[in-house]
């Protein structure tokens, strides 16, 4: 069958494409990505020459582009990773997040209705639930936790989730939603916490940590997330939300210190900076539903996952150094200007 993956040149989307290409080589994979700052086409180089892979540069909020692609490919499944996702950027420019994350989702679902797509899967985030108190470690997000957003980013993702469920109820569109905890692993854009700390530590530069670093996140290795999404889109119940968590809670400061120890760098590189406005204190996912219904549980504990991630960044310095220099944005031009 044909699977359309939007945002597939980004961190999780590219890992998902690699996972699908390996696990389900009989399927056709189509990637639609606008190649904004977080999209890196060179990441997908191993897939570009495969006969069952196609890349299309385009914006999910561009109805003409989306309609043409659906008409050509007639996808069986659509998995929407495409999103503006950096909280700090959403505080600076909320409008961009509303356009991509809400109107882009609507555009995709309208095309799904028109072309009879068998499943639309929305990749969401645990940030739609707000945060949990640090002094109540027994509390975790379930699928019944009320939405309580803290930033323009999380509000835009929550709005998209509500729209997806409304399209299911109103139009009968076969949808599913997954809400995941913080991902980490290969191809993570260097402005995010873990790759940022790795790159700066290797350069012996200061490591900026918000507030006192006590904010806790539930870390999920990206390959485990890919396996969970595949299970939901193929076997999950239509109209349902599934939480995907790693059972790997760590404070931001713990994560940073772990990276410094692994790289043999001193903790004196840590520099505490003014906290982000509305910064959530703790995220923790209860994945009981996806485990009970689909048999999924994360396979990667944080200690082994962070070790693999650090090693990947050490082995692939050219990838992230090209991003830091800005040269990665020239890859599309190099690949396509003479075609």
CA angle 258, 262, 263 (to 5 degrees): 120
Lowest mean pLDDT among 10-14, 73-77, 328-332: 328-332
Q: 151 and 87 in contact (C-beta within 8 Å)?
A: yes
The pLDDT of residue 339 is: 44
Q: Cα–Cα distance between 95 and 109 in angstroms, integer? A: 21
**Crossing angle between the packed helical segments 193-202 and 302-315, to the nearest 10 degrees:** 50
pLDDT higher than threshold 80 for residue 335 = no
pLDDT higher than threshold 80 for residue 332 = no
Q: 185 and 127 in contact (C-beta within 8 Å)?
A: no
Q: 91 and 113 in contact (C-beta within 8 Å)?
A: no
Environment class of residue 326 by beta-carbon count within 10 Å: exposed (0-12), middle (13-18) or buried (19+)? exposed
Global pTM exceeds 0.75:
yes
Q: Cα–Cα distance between 59 and 9 in angstroms, integer? A: 12
The pLDDT of residue 337 is: 53
The strand pairing partners of 244, in sequence order, are 180
- CA 192 to chain centroid, in Å, comes to 11
For 301, list phi and psi in degrees, rounded to 5: -80, 160
Q: Cα–Cα distance between 115 and 284 in angstroms, integer? A: 37
| CB within 8 Å of 304: residues ≥ 6 apart | none
Tokens of 312: 């990947």
- Mean pLDDT for 219-246 is 97
Lowest mean pLDDT among 61-65, 90-94, 197-201, 284-288: 90-94
Between residues 176 and 83, the one the model is more confident about: 176
Between residues 280 and 132, the one the model is more confident about: 132
Would you mind telling me the total number of residues written for the chain in this entry? Answer: 339
Taking alpha carbons only, the member of 312, 323, 276, 320 closest to residue 36 is: 323
pLDDT higher than threshold 70 for residue 338 = no
Q: Is 323 helix (H, G, I), strand (E, B) or coil?
A: helix
pLDDT tens-digit series, residues 168-201:
999 999 999 999 999 999 999 988 899 999 999 9
Q: What is the DSSP string of 308-320?
A: HHHHHHHHTHHHH
pLDDT tens-digit series, residues 124-137:
999 999 989 888 98
pLDDT tens-digit series, residues 137-163:
899 999 999 999 988 899 999 999 999
Q: Cα–Cα distance between 54 and 52 in angstroms, integer? A: 7
Instruction: Name the band, by pLDDT with cuts 50, 70 and 90, for residue 112.
Output: very high
Percent of the chain with pLDDT over 70: 96
8-state DSSP, 213: S
Tell me the HSE value of 261 on the side-chain side, using a 13 A CA sphere: 9
Catalytic center residues: 126-127, 153
8-state DSSP, 276: P
| Mean pLDDT over each residue of the chain, to the nearest integer | 93
Element spanning 179, H or E: strand 175-180
Element spanning 216, H or E: strand 216-221
**Strand 53-57 relative to strand 207-210: parallel, antiparallel, unpaired?**
unpaired
Taking alpha carbons only, the member of 228, 230, 229, 246 closest to residue 305 is: 246
**Strand 175-180 relative to strand 119-125: parallel, antiparallel, unpaired?**
parallel
Instruction: Name the band, by pLDDT with cuts 50, 70 and 90, for residue 331.
Output: low
First to last CA, the chain: 27
């Amino acid at each position: 069958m044909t699977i359309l993956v939007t945002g597939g040149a980004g961190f999780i989307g590219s890992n998902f494409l690699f996972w699908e290409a390996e696990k389900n080589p009989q399927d056709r994979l189509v990637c639609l990505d606008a190649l904004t700052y977080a999209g890196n086409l060179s990441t997908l180089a191993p897939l570009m020459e495969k006969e069952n892979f196609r890349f299309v540069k385009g914006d999910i909020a561009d109805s003409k582009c989306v309609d043409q692609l659906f008409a050509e490919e007639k996808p069986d499944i659509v998995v929407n990773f495409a999103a503006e996702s950096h909280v700090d950027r959403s505080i600076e420019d909320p409008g961009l997040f509303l356009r991509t994350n809400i109107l882009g989702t609507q555009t995709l679902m309208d095309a799904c209705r028109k072309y009879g797509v068998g499943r639309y899967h929305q990749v969401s985030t645990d940030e739609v639930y707000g945060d949990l108190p640090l002094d109540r470690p027994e509390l975790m997000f379930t699928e019944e936790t009320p939405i309580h957003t803290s930033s323009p980013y999380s509000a835009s993702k929550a709005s998209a989730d509500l729209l997806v469920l409304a399209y299911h109820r109103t139009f009968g569109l076969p949808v599913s939603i997954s809400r995941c905890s913080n991902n980490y692993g290969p191809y993570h854009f260097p402005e995010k916490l873990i790759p940022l700390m790795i790159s700066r530590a290797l350069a012996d530069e200061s490591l900026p940590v918000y507030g006192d670093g006590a904010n806790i996140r539930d870390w999920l290795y990206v390959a485990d997330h890919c396996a969970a999404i595949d299970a939901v889109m193929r076997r999950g119940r239509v109209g349902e939300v599934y939480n995907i968590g790693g059972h790997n809670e760590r404070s931001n400061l713990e994560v940073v210190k772990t990276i410094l120890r692994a790289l043999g760098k001193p903790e004196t590189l840590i520099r505490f900076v003014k906290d982000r406005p509305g910064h959530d204190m703790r995220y923790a996912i209860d994945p009981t539903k996806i485990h009970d219904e689909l048999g999924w549980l994360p396979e990667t504990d944080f200690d082994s996952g962070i070790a693999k991630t650090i090693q990947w960044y050490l082995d692939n310095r050219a990838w992230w150094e090209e991003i830091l220099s800005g040269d990665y944005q020239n890859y599309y031009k190099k690949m396509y200007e003479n075609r």
